[in-house]
Structure 1
Amino acid sequence: MTPPLLSLTWTDHVTGRQGFLVVDRLVRGVSSGGLRMRPGCTLDEVAGLARGMSVKEALHYDPETRYVPLGGAKGGIDCDPRDPEAYGLLVRYLRSMRPYIESCWTTGEDLGLTQDLVDRAVGEAGLVSSVQAVYPLLDDEEGARRRIADAFAVEVDGIGLDELVGGCGVAESVLTALDRAGVPYWRTRVSLQGFGTMGGATARFLTRAGLTVVAIADIKGTIANPAGLDVEALLTARDAYGTVDRDALRPGDRELPGDAWLSAEAEVLVPAAVSYAVDIANQGRITARWIAEAANMPVRPEAEELLAARGITVLPDVVVNSATNAWWWWTLFGDLDAEADEAFAHIRRSMRVLTDRILGRAEADGTTPRSAAHAIAADRLSVTAERFGWHR
């Protein structure tokens, strides 16, 4: 495994807590990857996420579009985002990372942080924007910044477009897998871990496509109903962290332990919360046919091997949850306008082509979708490197 271009650990002088930044590679001198905040975050975790971002970026390379994928990077802070000290810690981290944010690292929301919070902290840290490193690559910086600001102001059914695009991509990956297998949507049940931005949007798009969500896990436990949960009602009853107000539950809804989502009677599992949710110890409880990784790195590699041996397909995070990042750049570079229907149509088309290509490659090579995704990404990284230079 090739080491990353940059790997650093930062220690906050006020709290003693640590933060991390890993730049896996640069393309045209710039990298892309969000900033997460969670207790227990480690440098190894951030390095794995940065490698994944390089793959996600490469998979969306299309020489016909304005958006040219960047390199991969990731930031992380070891702190509970609910901690009273979290915001001050975030500002100090961003202030310390200012040289990288100004020159080579574009970032945004990830686990534990919202884009609004990141933007506020970025301003307080004295930065222009969390994506300012990409500005020199834009043909019309003013127009691009106006377009992305307009896109973030768009709401669909009371939810921001930026909170929906990722879930739209996850849903389309799932629907593509079902279509390839000839499985009807109306007979397909879904169990999710996480009901925040990604999990909530995924649940909405899948139910509107005709699937039935039978279980949702949040920090309080799992809510289940074999006849189907009222996703729209639960969306209006969740807080900013994706926790559902139990007063909104219907008589047929049951409250189960937090890990019950794993063994729910469902064809599709969607881990949309934390990394490392599925491991060797608990993978044997899964009976679903597909696992769609809406979160980053939710299935440990050794667990994925055992799942594959049992005929369970893991749709990998580098494909499934890549639409959020791609939508940012499609909009900023001018491939998309600040318009919801156009964004959803573009995401559906792109994610369907990408997922279908990866599943087809996996079948042809007799390997897993993850291996197929990495093989395709390696081909595209070589193309971008030849076009723009090898930057490690």
Structure 2
Amino acid sequence: MTTPPTTSPTPTGSETSGPRRPGTAAPAPLVSLTWTDQETGYQGFLVIDRLVRGVSSGGLRMRAGCTLEEVTGLARGMTMKEALHYNPQGRYIPLGGAKGGIDCDPREPAAYGVLVRYLRAVRPYIEHFWTTGEDLGLTQDLVDRAAAEAGLVSSIQAVYPLLDDEEAARRRLADAFAIDVDGIGLDELAGGCGVAESVLTALDRAGVPHQGTRVSVQGLGTMGGATARFLARAGLRVVAVADIKGTIVNPEGLDVETLLAARDGHGCVDRAALRAEDRELPAGAWLRADAEVLVPAAVSYAVDTSNQAEITARWIIEAANMPVVPEAEALLAARGITVLPDVAVNSGTNAWWWWTLFGDIGADADEAFAHIRRSMRALVDQILVRAESEGCTPRAAAHALAADRLPVIAERFGWFR
């Protein structure tokens, strides 16, 4: 097996997604690097938290203000997501956790060139150790196009040696990506299906009916848009959605399908599609929406110690990565507001890729949604039961569950640190 390149780990401070027991220090990642684009001065980051069977998994994001500390926390979160979906009877073999990030506004004219040069710079890692794909600010089509221009076979080629039948697996995944469900690709819907099922599991455990339960969603991109669709179709009432222009609200419920059809490539809604009864409010109004459920599905650190006081919802479902800062979560918990953590809630996209590639499911939308719903419901229910029995937050319960599974994965497959 190829030996990973030697890179000095960069210790970081407090993280929100570290797979560790309470009271222990966050371990340094296996690989932590910073790249500087010589043409623009923009920086990019790659963190490989750990390898399992020599490979790691985690998306690539692009946003202005992205930092190495942020990417480090996300990489640790990916280690947890992989562990939380470990099924000894499944064909999908958990990988290690990793993440990439570029500190650049994806709307800038220079952004695509920066992306290509970043991928070219980290090409040896993608070829051998890091499987990646779309994350905040990037679409999979864009990542694929840039990867090809950077000389890569695929953004997930590092996993190919682990497949029993590479040709059949790649064909199955390509067929799955070609599936369209009512105007939206299956690959875009998979993660939102998992988020929606997390919401429904929490409601069911609390005995709250789906019909009419009000939801506010921050972000109408890939994850937020798909989540809004699944929740609306389950009978919930989406009363607010926020994008970069502001918040669109309607207490009687928004026409989710119309808004989805009116989005641009960055999830921004054309206001010409709004109905007369829809209103526009400032960007932060989604937090104050009169709703039982808030779904932050856009940027990290969206809920902090100041704006958490505006929230009256009963549940916050983390569709984005690290949207609630730890200090804010403690204040929310003290007010009886439950936060379902990102490491479980938004893990459906990553798991769907691997379930499809390894052959646990075929290239079929109904089969994919059924598998995602069944797996996510079991996982979220297990987390909520553990949180209740141990008197802790769902995040602490998810961390504990991952900490239980990581040694089991290591014993079976090994890992490299």
Q: What TM-score results when the alignment is normalised by the length of structure 2? A: 0.93
Which position in structure 2 is the counterpart of 1:64?
A: 89
Q: Does 1:120 align with 2:154?
A: no
* Aligned with residue 277 of structure 2, among 236, 252, 255: 252
Show the counterpart of 1:301: 326
In the alignment, structure 1 residue 73 sits paired with structure 2 residue 81: no
1:287 paired with 2:275, answer no
Off by >4 Å, runs of 4+ in structure 1: none
Matching residue of 1:164? 189
The one-character-per-residue Cα deviations of 1:286-338 (angstroms, maximum 9, x if unpaired) are: 00000000000000000000000000000100010000000000000011111
Cα contact 1:37–1:112 (8 A) shared by 2: yes
What letter is aligned with 2:93?
Answer: V
Q: Work out whether 1:318 is the aligned partner of 2:320.
A: no
1:76-225 matched pairs, under 5 angstroms: 76-225=101-250
Q: 2:54 touches 2:415 (CA, 8 Å); kept in 1? A: no
Q: What residue in structure 1 maps to residue 10 of structure 2?
A: none
SS in 2 for 1:111: coil
- Provide the rounded CA distance (Å) in 2 between the counterparts of 1:230 and 1:102: 43
Give the conservation status (yes or no) of the 8 Å contact 2:86–2:405.
yes
- Specify which of 379, 383, 388 is matched with residue 358 of structure 1: 383
Alpha-carbon contact 1:214-1:225 (below 8 Å) kept: yes
Count how many residue pairs are aligned between Structure 1 and Structure 2.
Answer: 392
1: distance between equivalents of 2:86 and 2:231?
27
Q: Which amino acid aligns with 1:133?
A: A
Who is 1:5 aligned against? Answer: 30
How far residue 13 of structure 1 moved from its aligned partner, in angstroms, is 1.1
Secondary structure of the residue aligned to 2:47 is strand
2:62 aligned partner: 37
Identical counterparts, % of pairs: 80
Shift of 1:158: 1.2
CA distance in 1, matches of 2:123, 2:272: 44
Tell whether the 8 Å contact from 1:224 to 1:254 is kept in structure 2 after alignment: yes
Contact 1:22–1:75 at 8 Å: present in 2 too? Answer: yes
How far residue 390 of structure 1 moved from its aligned partner, in angstroms, is: 3.6
DSSP-derived class of the 2:242 partner: strand
Note if contact 1:385-1:391 (Cα within 8 Å) is conserved in structure 2. no
1-side partners of 2:219 and 2:131: how far apart? 26
Output the CA distance in 1 between the equivalents of 2:356 and 2:263: 29
- Is the 2:53–2:415 contact (alpha carbons within 8 Å) kept by the matching residues of 1? no
- How far did residue 148 of structure 1 move? 0.5
Measure, in 2, the Cα distance between the counterparts of 1:126 and 1:232: 38
Give how far 1:237 is off.
Answer: 1.0
Residue number in structure 1 paired with 2:80: 55
Aligned counterparts of 1:222 and 1:233: Cα–Cα separation in 2? 15
Superposed CA RMSD: 0.6
Distance 2:391 2:113 in 1: 49
Q: Contact 1:27/1:385 (CA < 8 Å) preserved in 2?
A: yes
The residue type paired with residue 310 of structure 1 is R
**SS state of the match for residue 10, structure 1?**
strand
With the length of structure 1 as denominator, give the TM-score of the two structures: 0.99
Alignment partner, residue 352 of structure 2? 327
**Cα contact 1:40–1:79 (8 A) shared by 2:** yes
Instruction: Please state whether the residue corresponding to 1:298 is helix, strand or coil.
Output: coil
Query: 2:259 is matched by which residue type in structure 1?
Result: L
Unaligned runs of 5+ in 1: none
In the alignment, which residue of structure 1 is the partner of 2:373?
348
1:207-265 CA-partner distances (Å, limit 9, x unpaired): 10000000000011000011110111111111111111111111111100100000100
